[in-house]
Chains A and B, each alone.
Chain A
């Protein structure tokens, strides 16, 4: 399970490292609670992948995440980080190796942005130059202007603060990142941008990420794998987004992913990925870019009569045509794994 070279270093002061995570028969009963918050949860996240825990409130997703860095202690079971049990580590030391981002961000109001980002490197005893270089690198990584380094959190916008939160979590280049509804308190437009940025960031740093959300669309957008939990921390289905949408395991999952799951699934694929029909002078409707999603193509097709759509190529010509039948066929194809 240990694939220590999957991660890309994002700068000279970082280490390329991602860790696998395994939950084995994890159980958590809060003192005085009638029923366990998590009954028996087993889950494996391969190194360098984004695992999204999603489910209705009270399903134990945040509890499951917080068990990993021992913010909450296990009742029984095992959690292995790169094959080693987290229970054998001292909590403070363990947490310094695991990035931690929460919805309310929790930046230190009395420290500048630079000092906030430098928190874990300083706990680890890095020297001054290395810390300063790392802070500069991280602000650039999360696309914050360097002049923000000397400001205080109160002087930043919500989106900027959330980026600082991510930079702070990545500071010591942890092999695992825990994110608890990090974009939940951000307005929808800024949230979409932060999600895109996280995907770009992940393409560069390749961390193992456990991401908690209650928003299925966010889960589909960000997850390499999605774990749908129901009450009591029961794993209803654990699968890549495409598979989850193509074949929900049961009625609960089907209801959770929504009746528009076919559309959601179409949103995952681009027309450029289809085997296009040759454009042999056939009358066609609108012209679209190859990176248009199948969902958008479908919308155009059903609103634009029965004419196929033309897909443009790089030099402005027509690469081929897309028809309604092709999109229907794509929906019935085997889910990509």
Chain B
């Protein structure tokens, strides 16, 4: 048996890579499988964390500002101006602007990401609150709801569809922008994308890019489900 085996032509050893990787194929599933655990999955998890923190902090700030502006209308214009200005700064420039203050850190990335959520979340929350029909507000006050009860029991529930719509846009925007955060912190799906850009082998770039798109779609779908669960009244069949 040994002699027979030795008589067979020896298969040349080209290392651990598959033929696809060796031939520099456009997209190699083998590479994705081999590097899911050490590259792609950690990057994806970091990306989700970067996004979740940014949207959560952004929402907290924008929500508080919207409640204030809802009570005092003259706050609206300055808030829209400032958040609008933040929104127009190119992301790469904003990251660089922040580095002297907060360094090459996750904080820098988060500050920039948060600043991009503010305008959308503020405007949508305020629009949702303003969209509550006047007669509903009048009836609520007339029945003896205090201003606080009116806000939490009537106005905010009715503003939910607009608020969640804002969350969807903000979340998808941050997922996409968070790839650029790789210029200040080596985290998230931006890392494998950046890595992929610097080599001729494109699988890493394509896989990380596709994950980013898939994450955005999944987050959007999740928020739609959350909204449907929270706002059953928006789906009832109208009898008139």
What is the interface of chain A, defined by CB distance below 8 A to chain B? 69, 71, 91-97, 100, 102, 104-111, 119-120, 123, 151-152, 154-158, 165, 168-169, 178
- Which of B135, B145, B240 contacts A157 (CB under 8 A)? B240
Contact bitstring B145-172, A, C-beta under 8 A = 1, else 0: 1100100001001100000000000000
Across chains A and B, which 6 residue pairs bring their CB atoms closest together, nearest first? Answer: A106-B139, A96-B144, A104-B135, A100-B142, A95-B144, A106-B135
27 pairs, A vs B, C-beta closer than 8 Å: A69-B142, A91-B144, A92-B144, A92-B146, A93-B144, A95-B142, A96-B143, A102-B135, A105-B135, A105-B139, A106-B133, A106-B136, A106-B138, A107-B139, A108-B139, A109-B133, A110-B154, A110-B158, A110-B233, A111-B233, A152-B236, A154-B236, A154-B238, A156-B239, A157-B239, A158-B240, A178-B142
Closest to B157 in A: A110
| Interface range for B | 20 to 34
The CB with the most chain A CB atoms within 10 A, among B133, B143, B236, B239, is that of B143
Cβ distance A151 to chain B, nearest Cβ, rounded Å:
7
- Residues from chain B with a CB closer than 8 A to the CB of A111 are 233
The CB with the most chain A CB atoms within 10 A, among B139, B141, B154, B232, is that of B139
Question: Known contacts being A154-B238, A155-B239, is A92 close to B145, with CB within 8 Å?
Answer: yes
Closest to A112 in B: B233
Cβ distance B6 to chain A, nearest Cβ, rounded Å:
80
- A189 CA to B143 CA, complexed, in Å: 29
- A152 CA to B231 CA, complexed, in Å: 11
Cβ of B140 under 8 Å from chain A: yes
Cβ distance B232 to chain A, nearest Cβ, rounded Å:
8
What is the interface of chain B, defined by CB distance below 8 A to chain A? 133, 135-146, 149, 154, 157-158, 231-233, 236-240
Closest to A100 in B: B142
Docked-complex contact B139 and A120, CB < 8 angstroms: no
Docked-complex contact B154 and A108, CB < 8 angstroms: yes
- A152 CA to B157 CA, complexed, in Å: 14
Cβ distance B7 to chain A, nearest Cβ, rounded Å:
81
Cβ distance B150 to chain A, nearest Cβ, rounded Å:
10
The CB with the most chain A CB atoms within 10 A, among B142, B145, B149, is that of B142
Closest to B239 in A: A155
Cβ distance A167 to chain B, nearest Cβ, rounded Å:
12
- Residues from chain A with a CB closer than 8 A to the CB of B142 are 69, 71, 95, 100, 102, 106, 178
Question: Known contacts being A106-B136, A109-B233, A123-B149, is A100 close to B240, with CB within 8 Å?
Answer: no
